[in-house]
Chain A
Amino acid sequence: GENVEQHPSTLSVQEGDSAVIKCTYSDSASNYFPWYKQELGKGPQLIIDIRSNVGEKKDQRIAVTLNKTAKHFSLHITETQPEDSAVYFCAADTGTASKLTFGTGTRLQVTL
Chain B
Amino acid sequence: GAVVSQHPSRVICKSGTSVKIECRSLDFQATTMFWYRQFPKQSLMLMATSNEGSKATYEQGVEKDKFLINHASLTLSTLTVTSAHPEDSSFYICSASRTGAPLHFGNGTRLTVT
Chain A residues with CB under 8 Å of chain B are 34, 36, 41-46, 49, 89, 97-100, 102-105, 107
> How many A-B contacts at CB < 8 Å in the complex?
48
Given contacts A34-B103, A44-B93, A97-B49, contact A104 B108 (CB under 8 A): no
The prevalent SS among residues of A at the interface is loop
Give Cα distance in the complex from A92 to B110, angstroms: 26
Bin the interface of chain B by size. Answer: 20 to 34
B interface SS class: strand
Q: Which of B49, B105, B108, B110 contacts A99 (CB 8 A)?
A: B49
Chain B residues engaging chain A, CB cutoff 8 angstroms = 4, 6, 32, 34, 41-44, 46, 49, 93, 95, 97, 102-108, 110
Instruction: Give chain A residues whose Cβ lies under 8 Å from the Cβ of B49.
Output: 97, 99
Given contacts A34-B102, A44-B44, A46-B103, 20 further A-B contacts (CB under 8 A): A36-B105, A41-B108, A41-B110, A42-B107, A42-B108, A43-B4, A43-B6, A43-B95, A43-B108, A44-B93, A44-B105, A45-B105, A97-B49, A97-B97, A99-B34, A100-B34, A102-B44, A104-B42, A105-B42, A107-B41
